[in-house]
Structure 1
């Protein structure tokens, strides 16, 4: 590592939203003192320089730097790029770690990792936000002074002089930009810890008060907010703001997206007081849509519409935040990105893919091969931790033999698997309950059943009753995961290729038994081979994979993002 490496801390008193913030106190220290004291713990920085402007109001920053024992450079107020270049040249700095002085909880270990990785991989610039992997406010950019010289010569637009590295990001094809290696235990990019206004200042004061000044670090802050999300919820009032859910649901796509969004919307409404509107894309109504209509304002449009028509329908609702929960056959990256141009957008997804530019993606698919979204800058939460199911009653007694079965293919059963499975079960001496929403289909099926088979309509209390069964026969939707959480073994029959990938992965873990559509006729034989040990394994693995806190996790992340973006 050759040449001087310095952290240059960008600071000024003239903030428009919070004037004089560098000198405002959080606990016993000013914002500037918090930043400097934490940067001083860096093991890779040879020098700390505070770069402020030559305006008289910043005299206090220079005096404070002298008291703190760090260098202070003063330059042009508006030409921040020039200020940084002159600062680096005056002090003989080769490598610059740029930090903004609105980050009281900047982590010295992050600064050190960024500097190390910059020297190891030698990009033009390395940062923490090109692909967000850390809370906002733990941010650093590392680059050589030679890059500043180059872009200073090329920059002609005012915004490229006002922002030190904006020219690089506006001309990405010319430069190598690398993201810092993520810290898995610090991955909460929707948490904002910068001080931009009075609400942020009070929020940071609350954190310091709760943790104590000596105990503040990012891991502890994340744990505090996970255990007490109301601290963040109270950061800013967003009641009355408008959130629109765009959801598919019906005989072709099932009701899983509708049920998922209804649960999430109910939690968000209760926590924040936002106005929730549903835009449902369906060619007919059903029991879940009627449930949504009783609770929220709802507009229904055809299941298949063009991207333009969908956008126009959304614009009529005047949303301030969008949540997209649609069948994967009804969208692609272009469609989602077009919406994200106009609104902060969160997408629920199950398949992965490239090119998404929304704000957040939530993917509950357990299969890691579906979690790849390329170089997207979206915040991504993936895996079974984010399965949004209600709290399920857990089965207590062990299963020695199968005496009671539940059959449920999401209620709507768009693939008509119910009829095929029931025809095979009617010869078995096993009590079987079958959930099927469509009354016409139930009436057609009823005359063909044995006395052991009971046809049921919608069961709102299924999470409480599922524990009473010894086996669930289902597809790859919510009921599969409810059974995992409740400790009920599962036979899963995929309804499409996306469910098939998910079910295959779960079977590989021992969480369920996969039966393909072609193998349905073998169900009686498969029952006979389900040993007590295999049933116990499915119970044990399923409960280890799925808990009932997924909705809480998802809602917390959504609300934190809303508070930042609305």
Structure 2
């Protein structure tokens, strides 16, 4: 109670967020996101009642169950699910409340002190309170009950009904506003404290566990202090772009796979695409993976980040598309045959899918809308697809994740040897054997990166016993970008990290998986971003020795007139005419 005035806190929440479905029940540390919100509100003595304000949709029943468990109020609006103004007004119109605090259910760092300041400002005769300048506090607004009624009566357009209070934020003379002056730390250090997508959730968990290791509470002031000491934490979600007014968003279903036999490249690549779709373009993303523990573990190692289902057959895929109400289907699998031999016409006939996108597959099928072929392609391929608007290829169609975009290089006398997650042909051991026989005129440290499913450990260790150079072994690195950022040269295979070396401008010795790809690799060499040195069956020792003894300076893509990875271009092509 505030001086005899009744205060109700309304938690605005829904379970059908496109970007992060059921986000309120995702964990930040040991508690669910919504627990952090509710528990903080319970610490504000001025608040008399807490109500979750949501829709009457069946998807939000879990919020009702939660409210009952926490012994707080619940209101499910039976009107338009996008009418937030109507929802909140109806939730409190018969409650005899004087002041209403509207709290975003996705803001775990709401500040109890700031809520109190808002309420005591309202007590001075104001209808609405807001900071006098832009500040860190997201998801907290306080109104008089008369102002809540005013908003319901005067918010007319769908935009105004969906965005609570926007008519008075955009027209400050409509009601009497009390402005609050805040400590400058809340206005100068502005970063994302709401959870809208995967990156925001990563950020929250990272700061939670860092604070826990220092025996500090997870609250906004301690997060400020932590971020001040470690500004790199902000990189976790600084790239997130807020949804713009009128921006269209879509639900993507990504079918991909990983296994010891098939490698990790398809799934890893699709995780990069999914991250961009979700965090940079505000879309919903769900994965469908093969029924394999390798694929499952890759996603689950990321913990709370990725949503997925198992599914391999066409029937399973159709069912999942319909369950998720997907708009766009993206497929990145090793082979379009067997259980993944899809009938694309049938998929479109039995679902409401708007577009089908294939990654690294070129087929002639009227029901496939976009084919994205990664990187440099052969002359024969380019001739065949000339003028085909469905086919995207080239360096700008390579997917590079955010880890590599944030790298700052500091070159050392280090050579990285990396042949992917499985290296099924044991090229790593062959290269170690070959380098040992060469005459290298400078002393380097060799960083040998082994994937999690490298199975030739005995042969590799035997070869290492005779290796005459300094070396370091890294097994299944958490962050590949950190491992390669300082190297002078990469000796690599076509796979997950092939184009990442090129993106960072690191000179490379390129080994080809098969002679049929020689044309593409020769073109890459001619562009100045690689050095083709043979196939896995026949390594060219003379070329390798020459390049190792004459390592060029870093490749400057800009000076070469090249751009690796243009997600904006790729995205616009995918959603074109939707």
TM-score normalized with structure 1 length = 0.49
Structure number having the greater helix percentage: 1
> RCO (CA 8 Å, sep 6+): is it higher in 1 or 2?
1
